[in-house]
Amino acid sequence: MALLWQKKTKDTCYEVRTAGQSRRLYSNGVFHSQYHPQRKHSGGVWDLLVLPALFRPPHRIRRVLVLGVGGGSAIHLLRHFVAPEQIVGVELNKTHLQVARQFFGIKKDMAELHHADAVHWLNAYNGPAFDMIIDDLFGNDTNTERAVPADSPWCQTLLKNLNRNGILVMNFIGSKAMRTSACVADPAIARHFKSTFQLSLPAYENVIGVFSGAPANSKILRQRINDIPELNRARLGFRIRKLKTS
pLDDT at position 140: 54
Where residue 47 falls (left for φ over 0; alpha for ψ -120 to 50; beta otherwise) is: alpha
Q: What is the pTM of this model?
A: 0.96
Sheet holding 30-35, edge to edge: 2-8, 13-19, 22-27, 30-35
pLDDT at position 138: 83
pLDDT at position 30: 86
Q: Going residue by residue through the chain (246 aa), what tens digit of pLDDT does each one get?
A: 899 999 999 889 999 999 888 999 999 988 888 988 888 787 789 999 999 999 999 999 999 999 999 999 999 999 999 999 999 999 999 999 999 999 999 999 999 999 999 999 999 999 999 999 999 998 655 556 799 999 999 999 999 999 999 999 999 999 999 999 999 999 999 999 999 999 999 999 999 999 999 999 999 999 999 999 999 888 889 999 999 765
Q: Bridge partners of 131?
A: none
- Look at the alpha carbons of 57, 126, 137, 157 in this order and tell me if their dihedral is positive or negative: negative
Where residue 235 falls (left for φ over 0; alpha for ψ -120 to 50; beta otherwise) is: left
Looking at residue 128, what DSSP letter applies?
P
Name which of 41, 80, 237, 61 is nearest 166 in CA terms. 61
Would you state the CATH architecture of domain 40-243?
3-Layer(aba) Sandwich (3.40)
pLDDT at position 78: 97
CB atoms within 10 A of CB 63: 18
Give domain limits for the chain. 40-243
3-class DSSP state for residue 118?
Answer: helix
pLDDT at position 7: 96
Q: Bridge partners of 241?
A: 198
